[in-house]
Structures are given as structure tokens and as C-alpha cells.
Amino acid sequence: MAGKSICFGIIGCAKISRKLARAMSLAPNAILSAIGSRSIDKARRFAVENGLPEAVNVYGSYEEVLDDPTVEAVYLPLPTSMHVRWAVAVAERKKQVLLEKPTALNVADLDRILEACESNGVQFMDGTMWIHHPRTHKMKELLSDPNRFGELRSVHSIVAAGSDAHFLENDIRVKADLDGLGSLGHAGWYCVHLILWANDYMLPKTVTAFQGTIHNKAGVILSCGASMVWEDVKVATFQCAFLINLVMDVSVHVSNGTLHVHDFVIPFEETSAPFRFVTNTGFKELQLGWKPFPSEHVVVTDLPQEVHMVEEFVRLVKSIKDSGSKPDSKWPTISRKTQLVIDAVKVSIDKGCEPINVGS
């Protein structure tokens, strides 16, 4: 991509900010120009520890990052309960919004953010990385070939992490005032987005939480799951938990075959990502084995998925800046659909696992 770079500010020195700072240094046409924390010491330490260039402005508040005239786009890795306030503030300063997921505590809050972005003519995108990995595009290409895979029938996903005692006591993702959705927001967001992706972003008709949701003492969801159905024969299930060692599974089952991925959120390795698929398989004579076997495919990538994400965001922002076009609606629409399903799961949990119609 040619032309002038887009300058980013980051507000908050969360661990994930380190990954994004690196991604901005690797992405063409992206420059990190400011980092801010509520503590100037923390911001300075972040700059040193991550080897940021001297040109990067370091601030002891989020406001200063937003007011920095060099900053054109802001990445927000803040706790979910702070998203409305800060994402709206960024948009109101006519700066582009790259917001960590889950985007909000509910769709009403997300709508406040999206409205602020729209009325100020700025791009919105959430920070889901796997959707930008070349593997994801390759899998979609295969799944979209009806001669090969046939019709979608079923998707299952489980994402889990954070089973250690320290995480379960201290992490912001288990604090009611910071990230009230807990594992549903953090791990479930990936599952729900994945399920919608496999369904070409068609919303399910109803969502029903599984019995057995686990909350911590503060009422934050540590583990839950749900099934969902569409108007036709399609079904999907997912489970998300903080109580299980790292899992990032997805299985897509179609009339003619199956796709398996065990590292869909963060690939086992940065530069290559595997998936397994099989079509039109059956048994050998007497069912003594399978024919053909599933085969493993590896998608090699020169840049990690978070760099592809930053590149996509920069592409959209440059289109606004360079051509005066309106912000792209694809990513905000996907974020909103994901949030709608997350909301429905939450309502189903709160209503004792009643089936909930998914809103619009």
C-alpha cells in the first residue's frame, strides 16, 4: 500500500498493547505515535520495555493521547465497562476506533459507540485477529464451494483459557465492575463470531444457554455455553470457560465433509497455521477403516494475524482519508451481530436457560 502512514495512539498498557505495538511496527503504513496510561510511570516503562522509538509521545492520561494532533486512530484495549466512554470520546475527536473485543457489555452500549463513529465519519473495527488470518480466508474459500463441501449443518466451538488460581482471583476479566461478561465476553466472543462466520453472518433464530453456567462470587461468568438454531436445519453449539487449560477448537460439519481447527484464535505458530479437512469420506469394506483419511493443510503467512488486522484497518482508514469515502460498514455490522448473539446468551442464562429469540 503506497502513501502516507496512519498514526496510532494506544490507551492502556495492557499485555495485548505490547502485541499491537509490535503489529503497528510490522504493518506497512501504520505508525505508533502515542502511548498513554493513567500512570505516566507505567507508560514510560511500556515505552522502554517495548523499545518504542523516541518519537513516540508518552502520556500519563488517556485524554492526552486523544488530544495529540499526530494521533489519527486509537487502539483501545480497556476493560469492557470503559468502552462506551472512551470509544465515544475517540470518535468525537474524529479519530478512528480500533476497539478490543468484547466491544461492549450489551448491544445498546455498542450502538452508542457505533452511532458516535458514524456521525463523526470515522471507521470502527473490533480487535478480533483470527478473522484476518490468511488461513481463515482459505477455509472460507473451501467451505464456500458447494461441490466440495455441500451444505452447512453444524458448527461447534470451544475456547477456554485461564484455569490458574491467580487468574481466577486477580484478572480484570473476572471483575464485575470491569468485565461483567467474563468468559462469555472474552472467550465466547470468538466462538460466536466463528459460528456467524461459518454461517455467512446469518443470525440464528434462537439461542439457548446450557444448564450449568458457573459464576464467581462477584457474579461474573466463568464458564457457560449455548446451542443455537437457524430457520433451516443448521445448528451450532459453543462453550467458553476460564476453568480449562488453553483450548481454541472449532469443527464445521457440512453435508459432504468436516473441517477441524484446534488453534483458530491464536495459531500454534506465528508463521504457519494448520487445519484438517475431509470430504466425501466413508468406510473401507467391512468398515475396517476410513477412506479417504482427513488431510492436514498448512497456510503459511509472512506476517502474523494481528498485522493483517492492522493492515485491514489502515486500508479502510486511508480510503476515508484519501478518497473521502464513508466508513466501511462490514466490520461494524459483524461486531454488532456478534454482540447481539452474546446478549441473547446472557439473557438465556439469566432466564434459566430459556430459548431466546435473537434481536436485530
Given the rule CB under 8 A, which residues bind a copy of itself? 15-16, 18-19, 22, 150, 153-154, 156, 158, 160, 163, 206, 208, 210-212, 214, 223, 225, 227-229, 233-235, 237, 239, 241, 243-247, 249, 251, 253-258, 260, 262-263, 266-270, 276, 278-283, 286-290, 293-294, 304, 353, 355
Beta carbons of 57 and 70 less than 8 angstroms apart: yes
Q: How many helices (H) and strands (E) does the chain have?
A: 12, 18
| Smaller CB separation from a copy of itself, 29 or 281 | 281
| Smaller CB separation from a copy of itself, 19 or 297 | 19
| Smaller CB separation from a copy of itself, 147 or 323 | 147
Number of residues in the chain: 360
**Residue 154 CB, nearest approach to a copy of itself (Å):** 6
| Smaller CB separation from a copy of itself, 320 or 353 | 353
Q: What is the DSSP string of 266-330?
A: S-SSSSEEEEEEEES-EE-GGG-SEESPPEEEEEE-SS-HHHHHHHHHHHHHHHHHHH-PPPPSH
**Residue 94 CB, nearest approach to a copy of itself (Å):** 31
**Residue 323 CB, nearest approach to a copy of itself (Å):** 34
For 118, the grid coordinates are 458514524
**Residue 263 CB, nearest approach to a copy of itself (Å):** 7
| Smaller CB separation from a copy of itself, 176 or 243 | 243
**Residue 100 CB, nearest approach to a copy of itself (Å):** 13
For 19, the grid coordinates are 502485541
Beta carbons of 28 and 307 less than 8 angstroms apart: no
Q: Which amino acid is at 342?
A: I
**Residue 132 CB, nearest approach to a copy of itself (Å):** 15
At 23, phi and psi to the nearest 5?
-60, -40
| Smaller CB separation from a copy of itself, 193 or 253 | 253
Exposed/middle/buried for 340, CB within 10 Å: 0-12, 13-18, 19+? buried
